[in-house]
Amino acid sequence: MTATPAAAYLVKGEDHALVAQALAKVLAELTAEAGGMALEDHSGDEPDVPALIDAALTPPFLADRRILVVRDLGRARAEDVDRLVAYLAAPSDTASLVLASTAAVPARLVEAVRAVGHVVDASAPAGRGRGQWLAARLKEAPVRLDARAAAVLTEHLGEQVGRLDGILTGLAAAYGDATVGPEELEPFLGEAGAGAPWELTDAIDSGDVARALAALHRLTEGGNRHPLVVLASLHRHYLAMLRLDGAEVSSDQEAAALLGIRSTYPAAKARAQAARLKGAGIGRAIVLLADADLDLKGRTALPEQTVLEVLVARLARLAPAVRPRPTKRARASSR
């Protein structure tokens, strides 16, 4: 952030905790700048954008600059977004707007802020990039975690990485700069965070029933995903295999093109699993999914979680367990 405050800042992301943390950092840096600052919070059930703009155009009293905060920009109406874009075309030189949103922000407003200020993306990387992001955050943490504790924390958080700072702050308050192991970490963890959908499908594809059920529980309990949402994710997974089964594709690029996706990574996984299950296994999976859909919609009196557990266990049993490749010593001893 430059020494001279910008006319506008936008903090955006999907995780409320991460957005709140990034917003607090922006405000801390702004209020630490030289000169007097008047901080005004214009957040509410529905941001009063006309009043916000009036405040921005009014010279500050007993201060050099106004900092005008809106924490819930996603609740603004379309016409208010237009008003903000129009204001940012010629913003006041004595005010800084600090806008935050966990909802999608219209592109025209993002570009208007970027033209006169800074856009802060508070999102954590998706998928496997999240591990590197967490490792970097742990390296900068006010408390040190040993390798076992770091692994436990990463696994426990799942997709709910917004809880990271709170856990680390609590650990630092309790243990200072001492190295923390799993035993010291455990009381600070609370309920396990949500897992990613691909963790469930990867476990099913590997034929690991126990790991698949654990991944399912993290989706439905830690992630609060509705059973029908989980079922839809599984349906898409097997539909991709069904489309590839018997198709004349000779590469992952061709598979991705057939599935209508850009990345070859999920296409490669679907192609490999389709080859392992073959037509009969994929067909059986589709039948299991259809039965579970009817059961979730009232055909059975079984609890929804039980229906999903039975489905996931049966799907995992369809997949031949992935065995590790034999080592040179094992191959030699078998001769």
Residue ranges, the chain, pLDDT below 50: 1-2, 34, 321-335
Q: What's the pLDDT score for residue 124?
A: 67
Q: What's the pLDDT score for residue 86?
A: 95
Distance CA 217, CA 195 (A): 9
The 10s digit of each residue's pLDDT in 72-83 is 888 888 898 999
Q: What's the pLDDT score for residue 112?
A: 94
Q: What's the pLDDT score for residue 111?
A: 94
Secondary structure of the chain in HEC code, one letter for each residue:
CCCCCCCEEEEECCCHHHHHHHHHHHHHHHHCCCCCEEEEECCCCCCCHHHHHHHHHCCCCCCCEEEEEECCHHHCCHHHHHHHHHHHCCCCCCEEEEEEECCCCCHHHHHHHHHHCEEEECCCCCCCHHHHHHHHHHHCCCCEECHHHHHHHHHHHCCCHHHHHHHHHHHHHHHCCCEECHHHHHHHCCCCCCCCHHHHHHHHHCCCHHHHHHHHHHHHHHCCCCHHHHHHHHHHHHHHHHHHCCCCCCCHHHHHHHHCCCCHHHHHHHHHHHHHHHHHHHHHHHHHHHHHHHHHHHHCCCCHHHHHHHHHHHHHHHCCCCCCCCCHHHHHHCC
Q: What's the pLDDT score for residue 114?
A: 94
Q: What's the pLDDT score for residue 126?
A: 63
